């Protein structure tokens, strides 16, 4: 692993320099189904500094077929501080992610981060309810581990097209989360079905925080239930980005605030926002 930035001055702490550009050896980069890949990096600095909900800006390699120009923002799937590793789940859809898929163990990948604002857990919270679909299955996973470390119970409702696209289930169970799966294939993943599950959990077990990512329809439903039950919520947003540090304003979206619409940068002000503020993602 090579840190590209200059070393901190003598006598200073690494915590004062949490963001770095780092060339990390690839340990694993394998498909988990026909759409998603699992990337594991030896990234000691990033793993030490990263928090649940943050992201890294990846410099995808240029190949003969793919020459991505901009970095790609990638939500963290797992933070392994003990071994100094970062893990990502990504969907192979365009030039950047197709180039990422060509990486092999031993190759180096330039990453920049950790970036953005992550999830927050208040003292006294006892139960987090996560609802995720698609890319959200990866983005919310570190929140479950963070909650488990603090003794906070987690229930995760995972939605996917079919069982083979149900990622993160084993990982979430391994950190103590209770997992409920719904799929399009078995007809259990409609918003109405998920809402019934959420209502049952709230009314029988109590919930202190809603967390979501990956679906506008599920976001809208949780916003409505958050207002009805008076439960706070957080949403992790995905958005196209240029710089990743708030300078280019490519990722600006409108948000609902007490003072009316306000435009915020997903990379700098988020990517995690209070659920009541989000309009779309």
Percent of residues, the chain, with pLDDT higher than 70: 93
CA 253 to chain centre: 18
- Distance separating alpha carbons of residues 59 and 70, to the nearest angstrom: 7
Q: Residue 210 in contact with residue 129, Cβ under 8 Å?
A: yes
Predicted confidence (pLDDT) per residue in 162-193, tens digit = 888 888 888 899 989 999 999 999 999 999 99
Q: Among 3.30.300.30, 3.10.20.30, 1.10.760.10, 2.40.30.10, what is the CATH number of 2-115? A: 2.40.30.10
127-274 shares the fold of 2-115: no
Residues in the chain: 281
Count CB neighbours of 106 within 10 A. Answer: 8
Q: Residue 127 in contact with residue 205, Cβ under 8 Å?
A: yes
Residue ranges per structural domain of the chain: 2-115, 127-274
Predicted confidence (pLDDT) per residue in 23-71, tens digit = 999 999 999 888 889 999 999 989 999 999 999 999 988 877 767 778 9
> What does the pLDDT average to over 212-240?
94
Rounded alpha-carbon distances, angstroms, from residue 192 to 74, 187, 247: 30, 11, 40
Q: Encoding tokens for residue 164?
A: 């083979």
CATH no., domain 127-274 = 3.40.50.80
Q: Does residue 111 surpass a pLDDT of 60?
A: yes
Strands (E), the chain: 2-3, 20-31, 36-42, 55-59, 72-75, 78-80, 85-91, 108-115, 127-133, 153-160, 178-183, 209-213, 233-236, 252-257, 260-265, 272-274
CA 61 to chain centre: 22
Taken in order 229, 54, 239, 63, the sign of the CA dihedral is negative
Q: What DSSP assignment string belongs to 250-267?
A: TTEEEEEETTEEEEEEHH
């Amino acid at each position: 692993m090579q840190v590209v930035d200059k070393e901190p001055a003598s006598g200073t702490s690494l915590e004062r320099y949490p963001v770095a550009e780092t060339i990390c050896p690839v340990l694993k980069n394998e498909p988990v189904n026909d759409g998603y890949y699992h990337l594991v990096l030896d990234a000691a600095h990033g793993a030490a500094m990263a928090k649940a909900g943050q992201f890294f800006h990846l410099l995808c390699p240029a190949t003969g077929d793919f020459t991505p120009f901009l970095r790609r923002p990638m939500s963290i799937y797992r933070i392994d501080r003990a071994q100094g590793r970062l893990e990502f789940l990504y969907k192979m859809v365009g030039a950047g992610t197709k180039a990422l898929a060509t990486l092999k163990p031993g190759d180096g990948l330039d990453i920049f981060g950790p970036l953005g604002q992550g999830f927050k857990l208040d003292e006294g919270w006892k139960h987090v309810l996560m609802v995720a679909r698609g890319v959200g299955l990866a983005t919310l996973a570190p929140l479950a581990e963070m909650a488990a470390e603090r003794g906070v119970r987690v229930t995760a409702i995972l939605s996917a097209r079919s069982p083979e696209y149900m990622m993160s289930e084993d990982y979430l169970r391994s950190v103590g989360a209770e997992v409920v799966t719904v799929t399009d294939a078995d007809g259990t993943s409609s918003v109405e079905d998920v809402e019934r599950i959420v209502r049952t959990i709230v009314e029988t077990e109590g919930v202190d925080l809603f967390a979501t990512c990956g679906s506008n329809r599920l976001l809208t439903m949780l916003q409505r239930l958050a207002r009805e039950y008076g439960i706070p919520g957080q949403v992790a947003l995905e958005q196209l980005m240029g710089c990743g540090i708030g300078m280019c304003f490519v990722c600006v979206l409108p948000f609902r605030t007490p003072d009316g619409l306000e435009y915020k940068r997903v990379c700098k002000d988020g990517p995690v926002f209070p659920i009541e503020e989000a309009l779309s993602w």
